[in-house]
Structure 1
C-alpha cells in the first residue's frame, strides 16, 4: 500500500508554488485530507507578520495532536527558515525542519529523516516537479525570489535574500509545458514582480515577459501580481493594457499615500509619483486596480491616517487589502516608537470598512456587463449554483461570481464561457452563461 501524505500550505501563493513542488517530488504518496491517516505531514509555514506566525505555530501543534504514531511531521518554509535555531530548540514535536531552500529535496529529507537548511533560497525552474492544485486551467508562475527593496516594515529580505530572477527561457518552457496539459490562465508572481530581470541586466523585464507569453499558443489569459511603485514604469502600464493576452489588471501595494509615512516606510516613491502611476492604471479601458495598505505604521499621525482614508475613499480601487502593522525583528521599524495596539486595531477596522465599500462599488459597476467566465465548479453557497471567475480577476483573492443560469449549456469545469453579470445578491454577483468560448 502507498504511504499517505497530508500537506498544509500557509501564507501567500508564492508559498503555494513551493508546496506544489514538494507534492511533485512526493508523487508516490497518496494525498489525504485526514492528518490522522497520514504517514507524512508537511506544514509549509508563513513568517511574514505576527498573525501568520501564530497561525503557522498553531497549525503545527494541532496537527501534532492529531497525527498517528510513527508518522513524520515536517515544518518547512519561511517561519522555519526565519527562526530555525529557536524552533529546533523549542519544538520537539517536529521530526524534520527545513526552510526555503530545499523544496526539491523533500523526498530525500523524509527518506533520511534529516533536517536541512540550504544557504540559498530555492528558485523553481521549468524542470521542477510540480503538482498544480486547486484548478485544471489556472497556474501560478513564480518568476523570481528575494527582494532588493528595503521597506522598513518587511523582514522578507532578511531570510529570502536579494532578487534572483528566472530566465525568460525557463519561464517560457514551464508555461509551454502547462499549456500542453490544458492550462490557459496564468498569474505571474514574486516578492517584487516589477523588478523582474534587473539582476539579469534587463531594463524592463516584465515587458519582455509579456511579449514572450503572447507568442505561446494556448495562453489565453494572464496577469501580474505584486508590482512595486518605484520599479513600475509607465511603459509597463501601457504594455499590460495593450496586450491581447494579459488582463488589464494592476496589483500595486502602495502601503500608504502620505509623504511623511512613505518616507518612514522607505518606499522610494512619495505621494505624487504614486498617484501618477495609479491614475495611469485607472485610465486604461476596463482596468482593474488592486492595492494593499498598512494601518498603524510607526510615525502614522491621525492626520496622515485621515489622508490615507480620504484617498482610498475617493480613488475607486476595485480591491483593497488591509494589514495591521506588525512589529517585526530585523526591520528598520522595529526600534521606532510604536503606536498603541488599540490605535492600530481601530485604524485597521476603519480601513477594512473602506475596503468593503470599495469592493461593493466595484461589483456594482459590473452589473450588466458581459465578460469571459471560467467555471471553477459547484458553488459552496448553494448546490444549484456554479462558482465562476471573470478572467479579469485574480484567483482566490478577488472573489467569485455565482452562475444561476446556464441556458442549458453543457458546462465543463475549467471551461470558458461568455456570460452576463445580471445582478448583485449580498456580497456576490450573479451571472448567466451565454455561449462557450473556444480557441
Structure 2
C-alpha cells in the first residue's frame, strides 16, 4: 500500500466507503468525514464491497430511523462475513444514544464515533486497521463545524449547514441530548464556504439547521438569519431555499428579507407539529393556534405566492379525538401545500415518553393515514390550480423509465416534494433552468412541455 504523510503521521492509503443515513444535516457531517479521509490520502468510495473500512453515519432520532440503521449494520456485517469488507465503523446519533447497547448486542461493529467526534475519523480508521476497537465520544456541545467537505449532492445543489444542535427542548425530541445545545457557525466561515460552493457551480443553496431562525443569537455579535441571507444573496446562486424556520422566531425583519430578496424562494419549511393548544403546550412548543394562524396570514400578505411546508405529529400522549379533529379542520382551512406527517414515537429520555394517556399505536397510525389522505387532496387541488402556468424548472436529467425529462420548481425541495415531468425537443443538461408550461398532474407530480 502507498504511504502518505498527514499531520506528521505516516498513514497507509486505505479504501474507505461511506454510507450516510438520515437527514441532510447528517449528510454534511458525512461529507466532512470524507474530506478528512481524502486529505489523509485514503481512497474514498460509496461502495462498501471491496473496502478496507465502511463508515456508516447513522440517525437515531425515532424508531424507524433506528431500525434502518440496524438493518444497514447487519448488511455491512454480511459483507464482512463474506470477506468483502474488513472493518465497520459506525458514527452518528445511534452510537451517541446507544453506545453500550451496540457494544453488547452488535459485535459486528468494530468501532464507534459519537456526534462529538466526527473529526476523529482518520484516527479511528488507523486504529481499526491496527486491530484496535476505537470509541471516540467527544463533547457534543463543542464540535468543529467548519473545514472542507466532499459535496455528494448533484453539482448544481448543495446544503449549507449554518448551526449544529438544538436548545428548544421539545418534549418529544431527543436531538438536544444527541447533538448538544444550539451553536451557530460564524458568518465569516459560512460566507467562505458559500463562496466556494458558488465557484463550483452550485445554483441551488439549501440553508439548513435544526432551527435556522435562531441563527446568530448565541454568538452575541449582532448577526442574524436575516443578515446572513442578505449576504448570501450577493453570491451568484439562482435559488436559496430555507429549512427549517421555527414559527415563534419568524420576525417581521426576516419576513421582509425573504419577501424582498428575489433569490430566496418563497418556499418556507415551518414545522408546527400540531395546532391544538393543549397538545402544543404538552409538546413544549412556544406557539398557540392563534399565533400560527396570524403568522401564516402575515406570510401570505407579504408573499401571496408563498408555499408553506410543515411537519406534523399524530398520536402524542393526550391527543384526544377532538384534538385530532381540530388538527384536520385546521389543515382543511389553512391548505398548507406541503406536509410531512409522522406517527408519534415514544423515545426513552424524552419528557413525552413519561406522559400519561399514551395513544394506542393503531389509533395513531390511523390518524397519520387520515392526515396524509387529507394533505394529498390539498396538494392535488393546488397542483391542478397551477395547470396552464409557465414555471421555472431546474432540470435534473432525463428519466429513461418515464421517457422524459424530470425537474423541480421552486416549490419543490429535493427528495421530499414532487417533480415536474416534461418533454423537450432538444437536449437539456441536468442543472439547467428551463421554462415549462404545466399541462397535467400524475400521482402528485406535474407534467408539462418546455417553452422555448
In the superposition, the TM-score normalised over structure 2's length comes to 0.90
Instruction: Map 1:195-206; keep pairs closer than 5 Å.
Output: 195-201=214-220, 205-206=224-225
- Say whether 1:171 aligns with 2:190: yes
Cross-structure match for 1:61: 74
Cross-structure match for 2:135: 115
Indicate the larger mover: 7-16 or 420-429. 420-429
Q: 2:270 aligns with which of 234, 246, 252?
A: 252
Cross-structure match for 1:88: 103
Deviation at 1:134, TM superposition (A): 2.8
**1 CA distance for matches of 2:193 and 2:91?**
24
Deviation at 1:254, TM superposition (A): 0.4
**Inter-CA distance 215–111: structure 2 relative to 1 (3 Å threshold):** same
Cross-structure match for 1:354: 374
Contact 1:282 1:289 in 2 (8 A): no
Instruction: Map 1:27-42; keep pairs closer than 5 Å.
Output: 27=38, 28-32=41-45, 34-42=47-55
Cross-structure match for 2:33: 22
Instruction: Map 1:240-389; keep pairs closer than 5 Å.
Output: 240-283=258-301, 284-337=303-356, 338-379=358-399, 381-382=401-402, 384-389=403-408
Contact 2:421 2:446 in 1 (8 A): yes
Q: 1:124 aligns with which of 145, 152, 155?
A: 145
Cross-structure match for 1:430: 447
3-state DSSP of counterpart to 1:75:
strand
Superposed CA offset, 1:96-154 (max 9, x none): 100112223312210122221111353421xx221111301110010001111121100
Contact 1:321 1:355 in 2 (8 A): no
Cross-structure match for 2:9: none
Cross-structure match for 1:7: 18
Q: 1:50 aligns with which of 49, 63, 70?
A: 63
Cross-structure match for 1:400: 419
How many residues are treated as equivalent by the alignment? 429
Contact 1:140 1:186 in 2 (8 A): yes
**Inter-CA distance 380–87: structure 2 relative to 1 (3 Å threshold):** farther
Superposed CA offset, 1:270-291 (max 9, x none): 1111111122223313211100
3-state DSSP of counterpart to 1:326:
coil
Superposed CA offset, 1:137-187 (max 9, x none): 110010001111121100111121111001111111101011111112101
Cross-structure match for 1:72: 87
Contact 2:120 2:136 in 1 (8 A): no
Gaps of 5+ in 2: 2-12, 129-133
Contact 1:132 1:139 in 2 (8 A): yes
**2 CA distance for matches of 1:262 and 1:381?**
44
Q: 2:254 aligns with which of 236, 241, 252?
A: 236
**Inter-CA distance 343–4: structure 2 relative to 1 (3 Å threshold):** same
Deviation at 1:341, TM superposition (A): 1.3
Deviation at 1:31, TM superposition (A): 4.8
Deviation at 1:429, TM superposition (A): 0.9
Indicate the larger mover: 109-118 or 186-195. 109-118
Contact 1:5 1:29 in 2 (8 A): yes
- Say whether 1:414 aligns with 2:434: no
Deviation at 1:419, TM superposition (A): 2.2
CA RMSD of aligned residues (A): 1.8
Contact 1:320 1:358 in 2 (8 A): no
Deviation at 1:431, TM superposition (A): 2.5
**Inter-CA distance 316–220: structure 2 relative to 1 (3 Å threshold):** same
Superposed CA offset, 1:336-374 (max 9, x none): 121111111111111111222222223223322222211
Gaps of 5+ in 1: none
Deviation at 1:399, TM superposition (A): 2.3
Indicate the larger mover: 94-103 or 136-145. 94-103
**2 CA distance for matches of 1:358 and 1:377?**
28
**1 CA distance for matches of 2:364 and 2:317?**
10
**Inter-CA distance 198–401: structure 2 relative to 1 (3 Å threshold):** same
**2 CA distance for matches of 1:204 and 1:285?**
28
3-state DSSP of counterpart to 2:136:
coil
Indicate the larger mover: 235-244 or 222-231. 235-244
Contact 1:407 1:434 in 2 (8 A): no
Superposed CA offset, 1:228-256 (max 9, x none): 12212233122212112100111101000
**Inter-CA distance 278–238: structure 2 relative to 1 (3 Å threshold):** same
Cross-structure match for 1:183: 202
